[in-house]
Amino acid sequence: MSVLVVTGTGTGVGKTVVVAAVAAVAAATGRRVAVLKPAQTGVLPGEPGDAAEVARLSGVDSCRELARYPEPLAPATAARRAGLPAVTPAAAARATAELAAAHDLVLVEGAGGLLVRFDDGGGTLADVAAALGAPVLVVAAAGLGTLNATALTTEALRHRGLRCAGVVVGCWPAEPDLAARCNLDDLPVSCGEPVVGALPAGASALDRAAFLAAARAGLGPSLGGQFDVTRLAGAADWSPATQGGGAAR
């Protein structure tokens, strides 16, 4: 695939770390990778945003944002309150296409969930994916409540005729509780899509080499890694090392 759109089931689920992991693994194989964050909210001018975090973790240089708004709100609301132009899905799709012409893979990171509004016309990340004909990778939480949120997201994708590239758990806890363990089995059933990765909590604190190892261990073969959900479900104390990455050592 030349373009992959990445959405979360909500905020704070580890979407940026997942984008960085996919970028790092792809770049390590020699692919030319670009990352686009159409709308960055909650970050002041001069402060590092999600694109900068992806660049720091992955080593990918081509990481850009189209607009940023200071308040941590939905892009449409943040743009309106700041008196700044909103980013439309059409503008995001054009910028992605331009990057795709010079790169082997472009990752487009949304803001929050799939249907968060980019502009007052109701445009969303789903519209960006539709304009590009791109698959959508869903990043979900590990614990209680994730089944409903993930099922709603994948149902919205199917309703719009969009292809899901699978579900990645963005932050797998060092000591998963009963709900998290059960969710590994229940997520594919409830949302109709496979779990294609799980990144360990604290991955963003790793150095670049260790992060790459964790990314390879935490992403499935469809994303360039070696993740095996059956091994994760059976591991008493899962870490990148138990998955063969050795990043925690």
Q: Does residue 248 lie in a domain region? A: no
How many separate domains does the chain show? 1
Q: Does residue 93 lie in a domain region? A: yes
Q: Which residues are catalytic?
A: 37
Q: Does residue 98 lie in a domain region? A: yes
Q: What is the pLDDT of residues 19-54, one digit of tens each?
A: 999 999 999 999 999 999 999 999 998 899 999 999
Please report the sign of the dihedral spanned by the C-alpha atoms of residue 181, residue 202, residue 246, residue 28. Answer: positive
Which pLDDT belongs to residue 215?
Answer: 97
Which pLDDT belongs to residue 234?
Answer: 61
Q: Does residue 96 lie in a domain region? A: yes
> Residues 6 or more apart from 116 whose CB is under 8 A from it?
74, 75, 110, 124, 125
CA distances in angstroms from 8 to 62, 139, 193, 233, 238, listed in the order given: 22, 5, 15, 22, 23
Q: Does residue 15 lie in a domain region? A: yes
pLDDT band at 237 (very low <50, low <70, confident <90, very high): very low
Q: Does residue 224 lie in a domain region? A: yes
CATH of residue 123: 3.40.50.300
The gap between the terminal CA atoms of the chain, to the nearest Å, is: 33
Q: Does residue 223 lie in a domain region? A: yes
Q: Does residue 240 lie in a domain region? A: no
Residue 77 reports pLDDT greater than 70? yes
Q: What is the pLDDT of residues 117-153, one digit of tens each?
A: 999 999 999 999 999 999 999 999 999 999 999 999 9
Q: What is the pLDDT of residues 80-94, one digit of tens each?
A: 999 999 999 999 999
Domain region containing 202: 3-37+52-61+88-234
